[in-house]
Structure 1
Amino acid sequence: MSQPITDTPAKPITVLLVEDDALTRRTLCLGIEKEPAFKLLDALDSVKAALSWLLLQPVDVLLVDLGLPDGSGIDIIRFCAQRYPDCNIMVITTSSDQDSVVDSIEAGASGYILKDAGPIDIGRSLLELHTGGSPISPTIARKLLARMRDDKKENDTLPEQADRETGAQVFLTKREAAILDLIARGDSYGEVARELTLSVGTVQTHIKNIYDKLSVHSRGEAVYEANRRGLLQMDQLKSRR
């Protein structure tokens, strides 16, 4: 059994859970509620209920399944990311197909965990997400890297087509490029700050500028888009501390 998170923030981290399976929903609720760092605001079971809820109030962390009875959790992710750009979004699902992974990241998710990947310490995964990390099941990480490598090969063999598809060229400063490489590697904002001898606030400002330049709203989306535009090196993505 995991130990509760010791560094409890002064203000609880609010969480919204969207999961249609009653037993799984109850298990996840218990995992969230046992951690003093979190405050579970609600646990819903459909796309309609989640969108109606998000129309009325923001949340710090969204934990969402993809296969819901009235639609896809990706619609919730996209709506939440656009309405509340500061919200951190994590998928927890049984779907490991490549398209679902990529669609979720492009919609705004920064974490992706499979329900059948074994016991999940949901509290620590959500805290990692909230502090700038990207908790991703190993199976999903491999599929995502494979997809990115395939995209890179395709762009390398079709440079003119790639130029047309990527649109206007994006220029990053040296500092922005360094930060982008580190967050692609999976470093948290605190780790990036220590690595580059910066304050966390400065790192967050640079990341906001990166998001603006790439027209994205989340870490996962930024990594995917940056790789698509040739701004990342694949060995950086595969190198994790």
Structure 2
Amino acid sequence: MAENHLIKLILVENDPNVRFRLERTLENLSDIHVIASAPSQREAFALTSQFKFQMLVVDLDLPDGFGLDLIRKTASEQRDINIMVLANSNDDPHIVSAIESGATGYVLKSEIETHLVSAIRLLTAGGSPVSPSVAKSVLRALRTYTASSAERTTTNIQTNPLSERESEILQLLAKGMSFNEIGDILTISPHTVTAHIKKIYRKLQVHSRGEAVYEAAQMGLIP
């Protein structure tokens, strides 16, 4: 594997058992290399300053915070770094905050062995790996938030910049459906779905499914 194609990442996970699962899942891969790991934000801050890396995989349940400071600092200072969040459940209350802080991909800890490697590769390729159940959780949280801030939400409603087809796809994304499921429902190919989603991201100025759902809710595009 050429050096410029190697995905170098830093793991930040407090639980040694989960950290072992992560390292075991990622070992012996030709395109992914764990260059360092840390059990806390404090130690992770030092690592992100010391190493050159392409991805940060961070737990939301750290002993010195919820990983949000680390996500925020990394996203603001190293904009080319992809940030993958490890969530304990699809109802983790900090997922929306992680989106706002700059996270661009999400994997449930229960899915490490089955989804982590493909999620890392997808995120590096410009995709936005988010478990459908996590997307549903984000939408529920946003609806709760906007319901308590109805006046502000009304003020923020803007003209819909999306086409009718893009709006249809956005609604299905918000329901947590996969690209293949969206293609089946709309009778279009997954490739066409991907092309539309790229346009949605560009128009909303976002980089992931979670960010798209969040931004659309803020703009009043999701009922």
Query: TM-score with structure 2 length normalisation?
Result: 0.72
- Matching of residue 129 in structure 1 with residue 129 in structure 2: no
Does residue 107 (structure 1) correspond to residue 101 (structure 2)? The answer is: yes
Whole-angstrom CA distance in 1 between matches of 2:105 and 2:42: 22
TM-superposition CA deviations, 1:171-227 (whole Å, max 9, x none): 67547x939838766659xx99942896x9xx58x845642xxxx675523430222
26-35 or 146-155, larger mean C-alpha shift: 146-155
Describe the shift of the 1:197–1:31 C-alpha distance in structure 2 as closer, same or farther (beyond 3 A). closer
Distance across 2 between alignment mates of 1:130 and 1:137:
19
The more displaced of 145-154 and 77-86 is 145-154
Q: Could you tell me which residue of structure 1 aligns to residue 210 of structure 2?
A: 220
Over 3 Å counting, the alpha-carbon distance change for 1:220 and 1:197 in structure 2 is closer
**Structure 1 unpaired stretches of 5+:** 1-6, 235-241
User: Which sections of structure 2, spanning at least 5 residues, go unmatched?
Assistant: 181-187
2:166 paired with 1:178: yes
Opposite residue 210 of structure 2, the aligned amino acid is: G
Matched-pair contact (CA < 8 Å) for 1:112–1:137: no
Amino acid at match of 1:67: D
Aligned length: 211
Shift of 1:28: 0.7
- Cα 1:183–1:98 change in 2 (3 A) is same
User: Which of residues 23, 32, 49 is equivalent to 1:29?
Assistant: 23
| 1:67-146 correspondence to structure 2 within 5 Å | 67-94=61-88, 96-116=90-110, 119-131=113-125, 132-136=127-131, 138=133, 140-146=134-140
Cα 1:163–1:173, aligned 2, differ >3 Å: closer, same or farther? closer
SS of 1:68's partner is coil
Displacement after TM superposition at 1:48 (Å): 0.9
Residues 81, 186 of structure 1: CA spacing in aligned structure 2 closer, same or farther, 3 A cutoff? farther
d(CA) in 2 for partners of 1:197, 1:99: 29
Q: Deviation of residue 34 (structure 1)?
A: 2.8
Find the partner of 2:220 among 213, 216, 230. 230
CA contact (8 A) 1:64 1:92 kept: yes
Q: Distance in 2 between matches of 1:208 and 1:89?
A: 19
One-letter identity of the residue aligned with 1:23: N
Residues 135 and 210, structure 2, Cα contact 8 Å, conserved in 1: no
Root mean square deviation of aligned Cα: 4.0
Contact 2:99-2:211 at 8 Å conserved across structures: yes
Task: State the partner residue of 1:64.
Answer: 58
